Amino acid sequence: MQQNNVRPETMARITTPELAAAFIEEQVREVRAQVGDKQVLLALSGGVDSSVVAALLIKAIGKQLVSVHVNHGLMRKGESEQVIEVFRNGLDANLIYVDATDRFLDLLAGEADPEKKRKIIGNEFIKVFDEEAGKLSGISFLAQGTIYPDILESHGVKAHHNVGGLPEDMEMELVEPLKLLYKDEVRVVGKALGLPDEMVFRQPFPGPGLGVRCLGAITRDRLHALREADAILREEFDKCGLAGKVWQYFVAVPDFKSVGVRDNKRYEGWPAIIRAVNTVDAMTATIEEIPYDVLHRITERITHEVEGINRVLLDLTPKPIGTIEWE
């Protein structure tokens, strides 16, 4: 593997399936040379970078790659199931799936402070991953979905953002086949590897997942309502063509209720807040204008199909002054 972390000026931007195929072929050779017959460990979140690394390494070394997917119970609807479907069923991956939903939600119970929630989720993720890694023997390498902007942002020193941390007694060499690629190139490579569009073009999703969109102290019923409302928003954006135009769109559900009417009775429920933004660098963001007929359809579906939600609101705040996420 190339040891330096500087992208050569002569390296052509990967924009076509042919260029992607050539890159894949080169990386397969380099990974095999680096790894030999040893095993490689990967934290597979289901995000773009970790998914493309997984598919690339499976092509190179097959079952020598051990992928660990930790479901912290804060994924969007269908995401963990998709990881299992694509990797275990489709690519015959050596995949360890850990459903740690109860473990995470029990720890988060009653905690309303956003920073504390983030710390709980991050620390517990490390613990779960470490426990799984500790059950394995003969792992010599750790794969990461590091991409070039990560290296540029950290001046060549990268925290283990896909893993969060490593067991102190694990001496592992890194395998980072995407480290000289930009995000758009990673997507082209992912397509060339045969990954589904919904995985390759998945929008950015925070590490704590829905934990920072279920505002305040997370409860299971409100988290369920958030997941269902968010799925409806994504489905309707897919149908009307906004999914490809908008950089990030999601629902946040705050921890307060208002009165409404359902079946001629008073009905207390939470509001679902829609946020849809466009950005180049995530430092600033503009609001995407959603046609009113689409908003009406989304509102109709969320308020009728999602138990516990009785209002739909639209967040019109650009960044600055509002951050992209609410917490």
Considering the chain, tell me which residue range(s) the CATH 3.30.300.10 domain(s) occupy: 213-314
Distance CA 147, CA 179 (A): 4
How high is the pLDDT of residue 213? 98
Rounded to the nearest angstrom, the gap between the alpha carbon of residue 52 and the centroid of all alpha carbons in its chain is 12
User: What pLDDT does residue 182 have?
Assistant: 93
**Three-class SS of 175-242:** ECCCCCCCHHHHHHHHHHCCCCHHHHCCCCCCCCHHHHCECCCCCHHHHHHHHHHHHHHHHHHHHHCC
pLDDT value, residue 153: 77
CATH 3.30.300.10 assigned to 213-314: yes
H/E stretch holding 56? helix 48-61
Give pLDDT, residue 159.
41
For CATH 3.40.50.620, the residue range(s) in the chain are 17-200
pLDDT of 161: 42
Closest CA to 293 of 236, 248, 234: 236
Q: Count the neighbouring beta carbons within 10 Å of the beta carbon of residue 104.
A: 23
Closest CA to 196 of 90, 325, 320: 90
CATH numeric code, 17-200: 3.40.50.620
68 residue type, one letter:
V
pLDDT for res 167? 52
Q: What is the pLDDT along the chain (327 residues), one digit of tens a residue?
A: 445 789 999 999 999 999 999 999 999 999 999 999 999 999 999 999 999 999 999 999 999 999 999 999 999 999 999 999 999 999 999 999 999 999 999 999 999 999 999 999 999 999 999 999 999 988 999 999 999 988 887 654 334 444 444 455 556 899 999 999 999 999 999 999 999 998 999 888 888 999 999 999 999 999 999 999 999 999 999 999 999 899 999 999 999 999 999 889 999 999 999 999 999 878 899 999 999 999 999 999 999 999 999 999 999 999 999 999 999
pLDDT at 163: 42
The β-bridge partners of 232 are: none
Could you tell me if 174 and 145 are in contact, meaning their C-beta atoms sit under 8 angstroms apart? no
Q: Are 99 and 29 in contact (CB under 8 A)?
A: no
